[in-house]
Amino acid sequence: KNNPSAFKLKENTRPVDNVSWEDAQAFIGELNKKERTKRYRLPTEAEWEYAARAGSDTAYHFGDNPDLLPEYGWCETNSGGETHPVGLLKPNAWGLYDIHGNVWEWCQDWYDKKYYAVSPATDPAGPSSGEFHVFRGGSWYSSDTRCRTTNRPMNYFKYDRKDFFGFRVVKDF
């Protein structure tokens, strides 16, 4: 209904920003209601990383060289201090755009620094509770290190709204 983004264009081609984890959940609830389904949701952290990597095992989906990041994602070196329309840069091998940079993407999981040491090997879904929710991918203000596929920051609450937070919706089939 109302776009909370700090960075807007008439075309609405930029990612939504300035949204909390709770805002993302509310949007998904409305989307599911509109579509008469319960299949839309935030990705788990493991799903996010699997999709971001697109079969790679490197620091970024395109390899290990951070100098190539501006070809694939909007980060502190090329963003000009704002988000950009999705799809202007190169996608990953599976056709997903802006996996690195533009906005941090909320995930469904609670954050636990040690979770992956004890998690199931297949389809881990994160701990059942926690203080912070996971967000991944880096944003327009992030350094190349913060945009790495494996980077796991954890210092924001589920109700925090920042102009560098957004989300990507997944659909169960």
Q: Give the tens place of pLDDT for each residue, 126-169.
A: 888 888 999 999 999 999 999 999 998 877 888 889 999 999 99
The DSSP bridge pattern shows strands 165-167 and 104-110 to be parallel
pTM of the model: 0.92
Q: CA dist 129 to 43, 88, 109, 112, 134, Å?
A: 16, 37, 9, 9, 12
Residue 85 belongs to some domain of the structure:
yes
- Average confidence (pLDDT) over 109-126: 83
CA end-to-end span of the chain = 26
The per-residue pLDDT for 8 is 82
Task: Kindly report the CATH number assigned to the domain that includes residue 171.
Answer: 3.90.1580.10
The per-residue pLDDT for 116 is 78
Q: pLDDT digits over 33-57, tens only?
A: 999 988 999 999 999 999 999 999 9
Residue 8 belongs to some domain of the structure:
no
The per-residue pLDDT for 1 is 59
Locus of tokens 């609830």: 29
Residue 1 belongs to some domain of the structure:
no
Residue 93 belongs to some domain of the structure:
yes
Residue 158 belongs to some domain of the structure:
yes
Residue 5 belongs to some domain of the structure:
no
Residue 136 belongs to some domain of the structure:
yes
Tokens found for residue 39 = 């299949």
Domain, as residue range, for 42: 14-173
Determine what percent of the chain is predicted with pLDDT higher than 90: 73
The three-class DSSP label of residue 32 is: helix
User: In the chain, how many domains are there?
Assistant: 1
CB atoms within 10 A of CB 86: 17
* Nearest residue to 164 (alpha-carbon basis) of 107, 103, 116, 117: 103
Residue 124 belongs to some domain of the structure:
yes
Q: CA dist 14 to 28, 75, 135, 153, Å?
A: 18, 14, 18, 23
d(CA 170, CA 40): 6
